[in-house]
Amino acid sequence: MIKTALKDWHSIHAKNIPGKIEGLKNRLSVLDDQVDDGGLSLEELEEMRNITHDIHSLSRVNASITWQQARSRWLKKGDANSKFFHSMLSSRRRRNSIVSLMVNDNLLEGVQPIRNAVFSHFKEHFAVQNISRPRAENLLFKQLTYAEGRSLILPFTETEVKIAV
């Protein structure tokens, strides 16, 4: 039932959106010609505003649907050895490449200078630092006597529990 309802909704709202946009543009062109010829009534001006709004709304919906279809196509055929896959891979590689890098107010370009700058940055960032940290070896802690230690494992009485609570 849901599938049928979705198909019905799609045929009413989302089918042939580019055709609907073209139809609205044609009607808008007719109204523009009427403006040049002598003017429009208030209803026709309101229709013009509504048509413009509808064209923008449908364009956004069309862009969204096109993006979703492209994403779906990518998920289905993305790892196939296709022209689409290789073009997406190339564009991603171009987007992810580092062409230049600013280090200490110096612009570095080229593979080797950028690589050296990145390596030196992380080498400095993750270098072992000799920091004097306190150790537990020389600290003096209070120690329990043998009797105090034995008292920790003795069974407790009901009176002791009531006092503690």
pLDDT 10s digits, 68-115? 888 887 777 666 667 777 888 888 888 888 888 888 888 888 889 989
Is 155's pLDDT higher than 80?
yes
From first CA to last CA, the distance across the chain in angstroms is 63
φ, ψ (nearest 5 deg) of residue 142: -70, 140
Say which residue the tokens 């998920």 belong to.
Answer: 75
Residues 62 and 17: beta-carbon distance below 8 Å: yes
Q: State how far the alpha carbon of 30 is from the alpha carbons of 40, 53, 56, 102, in Å.
A: 11, 16, 18, 55
Q: What is the arithmetic mean of pLDDT over 28-47?
A: 81
Q: What is the arithmetic mean of pLDDT over 51-59?
A: 90
Chain centroid, CA 42 distance in Å: 45
Is 149's pLDDT higher than 80?
yes
Q: How high is the pLDDT of residue 10?
A: 79
Query: What pTM did the predictor assign?
Result: 0.41
Model confidence over 116-126: pLDDT tens digits?
999 998 888 88
Strands (E), 39-156: 100-103, 106-109
Sign for the pseudo-dihedral over CA of 96, 98, 101, 107: negative
